[in-house]
Amino acid sequence: MLSATLRAARSDSRLRHILDAAAGLFCEKGFHPTSMRDIAQAVSMLPGSLYYHFASKEDVLVAVYEEGVRMISAAVNEAVARHIAPWERLEAACVRHLETLLGGSDYAQVVIRVLPKDVPGAAARLTSLRDSYEALFVGLCAELPLPRGTHRGTMRLMLLGALNWCPNWYRDAGLSPRNIARRFVQLLRTAQDTTGPAP
């Protein structure tokens, strides 16, 4: 369910501008170097007016995170719904995750760049949002026909970690986000198909 802040942002263009500006600044400068004054200046607003909408910079970050998670989740759910076979569903999720992540969305970038542990004042809320998204991949990995004894949680974390690291190198690889995601899943699938049942 969307928070009251995010629902309000959809009907109040000022809030939307604030979140867009904050996402861009958090992505460009990082969370800690960005000040509330920076955000207010980016939207031609007095700092006091910004505090009317958000009590703290942590609250702004949570709202940006929530929008990022909503965007990525919606994209992944839409892609997965087109497929039935478990491996195809996982591949579709990975492709859309990476396309959204590398498609220029500041919101998506903030979700992977700002770690909950780095913002103690908002850690619980950020972790809850991240967990709600990762639950999609928990379900997708649970559907896979894997050999007995396969640790699905480790496989899921490894896959998401690989996908989220792609912004650091993908432009030098000469591959599209779709090709990268498909290769990742194919590597996992091939490894599982040749492992055989665990003793």
pLDDT of 163-174, one tens digit each?
999 988 887 778
Whole-number CA gyration radius for the chain: 19
- Cβ neighbors of 75 (< 8 A, separation 6 or more) are 96, 97, 99, 100
Classify domain 57-195 at the CATH class level. mainly alpha
**Percent of all residues in the chain with a pLDDT value above 90, rounded to a whole number:** 74
pLDDT digit string, tens, across residues 27-63: 999 999 999 999 999 999 988 889 989 999 999 999 9
Confidence class for position 199, pLDDT limits 50, 70, 90:
very low
- pLDDT tens readout for residues 138-170: 999 999 999 888 899 999 999 999 999 998 888
Q: Residue 39 and residue 172: Cα distance in Å, rounded?
A: 32
3-state secondary structure 172-196: HHCCCHHHHHHHHHHHHHHHHHHHC
Residue-level pLDDT at 172:
75
Report the predicted TM-score, pTM, of the whole model to 2 decimal places. Answer: 0.85
Question: Above 60 in pLDDT, residue 127?
Answer: yes
What residue spans of 32-176 are helical by DSSP H?
Answer: 36-42, 47-53, 57-80, 86-101, 106-113, 123-143, 152-165, 170-173
